[in-house]
Amino acid sequence: MNLAKEALELHKKLKGKIEIKSKHPVLTKEILSLLYTPGVAEVSREIAKHKEKVYEYTSKWNTVAIVTDGSRVLGLGNIGPEAALPVMEGKAILFKLFGQVDAFPLCLNTQKAEEIVEIIKNISPSFGGINLEDIDSPKCFEIVDRLNGSLDIPVYHDDQHGSGIVVAAGVINSLKVVGKKLSEARVVIAGAGSAGYGTAMMLHAIGIKNILAVDSKGIIHSGRNDLNKYKQKLASISNKGHLEGSLSNALDGADVLIGASGIAGLFKNEMIGKMSDDAIVFALTNPTPEIMPEDAKDAAIIATGRSDYPNQINNVLAFPAVMRGLLDVRAKMVNDEILIASTYALVDIVKDELRMDYVIPLPTDERILPAVSKAVRDAAIKTGVAQVKHK
């Protein structure tokens, strides 16, 4: 199978993977008059008088914008908005398939944070939620900070929030399998971009106290003078021992190694050998991970982002169901309580089935959508960010 050739041929044949269809057959002139002019004018008048009724009379209640500037797409880097479009179309398919959410790609011809923020604010009346995707860091964090809570719809950053949820769930279950305590685990994260930052924040939020984050210049610590404000935040919640040095230095006695580096082949088995007994390794760079599972001989548990190996750590386990829950209660924002609830919902799905090659549900597990969306709804209601109760 020549995957690259077949993908090109299929996309060329389809000319795009998504389309818009009418929910109601348009078989008569009378129906057309109801769906469009003159009948639609009465609907517009009603919404003009009662703005919140837009959720009753339009698709806003179930519509999400997938927003990218094409600056950091998959492992391809800054390929621009046009080249990002097929990826965002694929994301829209996953939203529908796993969350029954209607999502639309919006690939922007700007890479300026201020302009992206303003565009999202201006398009927000059409959408029930925003999914930020494949925007380089630290710009993506600035956009999230500017938007989350300033709109009346949620802004979900999948590279940050989704990665954090799924990795944290996998770590919790992996530590259970090898019989180690969450509060005592030492975790090393290779990479401090969107996924690395989001993962570190989630692990800290669930109670892991001993975290070391490593970027291209070495271990992140508060004494470094080259840290942006987000890496400074990472330094504030990690590396309490003020360790300096390289990734190799960080790995001495570590229990968990998480690869969010974007660098294929970064990890070597001899590096894993420096870790503690029953080492847990998540090599998450796609399509080629930091180490292939067959090469990680000293790891007790190995996970990747690939579907052709056990323990696939993939954001599709989170974003469709999380967004489903956010839309169901018209959540105004995404908060830590929602993210933590989502994480433990994933954890609980396989709590009675755990083994070294099964620490996270499969993406096709039908239990994910009801469990995670309910956890999101409950957390949103409990924390006061839900605008309606789910029926």
Catalytic site includes residue 91: yes
Alpha-carbon gap, residue 62 to 45, rounded angstroms: 22
Within 10 angstroms of residue 11's Cβ, the number of other Cβ atoms is 14
Catalytic site includes residue 309: no
Amino acid letter for position 177: V
Among the listed residues 356, 275, 328, 278, the one whose alpha carbon sits nearest the alpha carbon of residue 129: 328
Alpha-carbon gap, residue 65 to 131, rounded angstroms: 6
Two tokens, residue 314:
């993939």
In sequence order, what are the residues at sequence separation of 6 or more whose Cβ sits closer than 8 angstroms to the Cβ of residue 332? 149, 151, 152, 153, 154, 385, 386, 387
Q: Is the dihedral of CA 130, 173, 235, 265 positive or negative?
A: negative
Cite the DSSP H helix spans in 15-150: 29-35, 40-49, 54-57, 80-99, 113-123, 139-147
Looking at 13, 23, 36, 121, which residue is catalytic? 36
* Angle CA 162–387–143, to nearest 5: 40
Q: CB of 306 within 8 A of CB of 289?
A: yes
Q: Is the dihedral of CA 80, 83, 86, 91 positive or negative?
A: negative
Looking only at the bridges linking them, the beta strands covering 210-215 and 218-219 are antiparallel
- Residue 33's φ and ψ, nearest 5 degrees, are -65, -30
Looking at 60, 91, 180, 332, which residue is catalytic? 91
Alpha-carbon gap, residue 388 to 391, rounded angstroms: 9
- Residue 133's φ and ψ, nearest 5 degrees, are -145, 135
Hey, is 128 helix, strand or coil? coil
As annotated, the active-site residues are 36, 91
